[in-house]
């Protein structure tokens, strides 16, 4: 079985498990000997990922759940707990809006807040009490470097990821003596399918994500491995990718980090000058549950 600092993981729940980091995490957990419950709005993708996980000789089952739906979360949690304890929860499901703040609609805000932040809070709230009763378990979050360093034209996305990082940090302190651990990973650009369902207000940035340089970005498998390794040693916040230099700079010299972020935003066309007057745009279809865009 996979072991965290608290105990062996016999059963794990992974959201956004149909693709990207979620799928890689579910399969890696299975490889390490844990049974996995895969959650996603993409039922076909989740079932395919569960089939991959079962190849490692564990039990893996897919559930179609919209994490932004509070009632669906409660029903799912009750069903899962009826089947036995959950030792590890991986809150990974995520969506993204790339647009200037003034062009980000109320619907955009509801979408990204519902999936990225409220969904993670709701599922943690539903499953955590059973962990506390057993004084054993672990909660992990896939956030983003956009949750550590502000990024232009990604205000809505960054707001949710800063929220996830803050929620996880406060929760980790609160649970320090409870026997339940909390880990957060904050990757930079990861080569997943998130960009395909991102709502864009910036064609230049969309084109960049559609065909980034071949050398740029991490694989979902690397993020999954880093996440589970961090959880196994009881780690708190783990920043991944070369973009983490921006976080280090922010901690050492905040004003210098601001100017660097401003310069980078201009180079990739996501600063206010590049996105001013962006017309309303139709969202790309679908909802991916994967990794953060570059920032």
At 104-126, the pLDDT tens digits run 899 999 999 999 999 999 999 99
Residues 6 or more apart whose CB falls under 8 angstroms from that of 11 comprise 34, 35, 36, 37, 84, 85, 86, 87, 88
- Supply the pLDDT for residue 136: 95
> What whole-number percentage of the chain has pLDDT above 90?
62
Distances (CA, A) of 163 to 29, 53, 176, 224, 275: 26, 31, 20, 21, 25
Of 77-81, 104-108, 273-277, the range with the highest mean pLDDT is: 77-81
Predicted TM-score (pTM) of this structure: 0.85
Terminal Cα distance for the chain, rounded: 36
Closest CA to 116 of 177, 58, 179, 199: 199
Q: Compute the average pLDDT of residues 152-181.
A: 95
Six-digit token string for 35? 């049974």
Q: Compute the average pLDDT of residues 258-283.
A: 59
Lowest mean per-residue pLDDT among 75-79, 139-143, 150-154 = 150-154
Residue 263 binned pLDDT confidence (cut-offs 50, 70, 90): confident
Hey, which residues are catalytic here?
157
- Supply the pLDDT for residue 42: 95
CATH of domain 2-275: 3.40.50.720
Six-digit token string for 175? 């649970």
pLDDT, tens digit, 9 for 90 and up, residues 2-45 = 565 545 669 999 999 999 999 999 999 999 999 999 999 999 99
Lowest mean per-residue pLDDT among 119-123, 153-157, 275-279 = 275-279
Average model confidence (pLDDT) across the chain: 84
Residue 101 binned pLDDT confidence (cut-offs 50, 70, 90): confident
Q: Compute the average pLDDT of residues 220-241.
A: 94
Residue 223 binned pLDDT confidence (cut-offs 50, 70, 90): very high
> Is the CB of residue 24 less than 8 Å from the CB of residue 221?
yes
Residue 205 binned pLDDT confidence (cut-offs 50, 70, 90): low
């Amino acid at each position: 079985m996979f072991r965290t600092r608290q105990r062996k993981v016999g059963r794990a729940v992974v959201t956004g498990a149909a693709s990207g980091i979620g799928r890689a995490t579910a399969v890696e957990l299975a490889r390490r000997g844990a049974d996995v419950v895969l959650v996603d709005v993409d039922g076909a993708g989740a079932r395919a990922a569960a089939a991959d996980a079962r190849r490692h000789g564990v039990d893996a089952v897919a559930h179609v759940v919209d994490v932004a739906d509070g009632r669906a979360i409660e029903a799912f949690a009750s069903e899962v707990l009826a089947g036995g304890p959950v030792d590890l929860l991986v809150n990974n499901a995520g969506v993204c809006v790339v647009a200037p703040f003034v062009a980000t609609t109320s619907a955009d805000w509801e979408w990204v807040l519902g999936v990225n932040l409220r969904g993670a809070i709701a599922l943690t709230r539903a499953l955590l009490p059973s962990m506390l009763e057993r004084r054993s378990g672990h909660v992990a979050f896939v956030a983003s470097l956009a949750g550590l360093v502000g990024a232009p034209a990604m205000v809505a996305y960054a707001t949710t990821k800063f929220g996830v990082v803050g929620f996880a940090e406060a929760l980790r302190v609160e649970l320090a003596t409870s026997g339940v651990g909390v880990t957060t990973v904050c990757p930079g650009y990861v080569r997943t399918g998130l960009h395909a369902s991102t709502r864009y207000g910036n064609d230049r940035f969309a084109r960049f994500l559609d065909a980034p340089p071949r050398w740029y970005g991490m694989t979902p498998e690397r993020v999954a491995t880093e996440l589970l390794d961090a959880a196994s040693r009881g780690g708190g916040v783990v920043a991944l990718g070369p973009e983490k230099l921006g976080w280090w700079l922010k901690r050492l010299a905040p004003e210098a980090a601001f100017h660097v972020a401003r310069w980078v935003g201009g180079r990739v066309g996501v600063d206010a000058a590049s996105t001013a007057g962006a017309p309303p745009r139709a969202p790309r279809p679908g909802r991916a549950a994967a990794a953060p865009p570059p920032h």
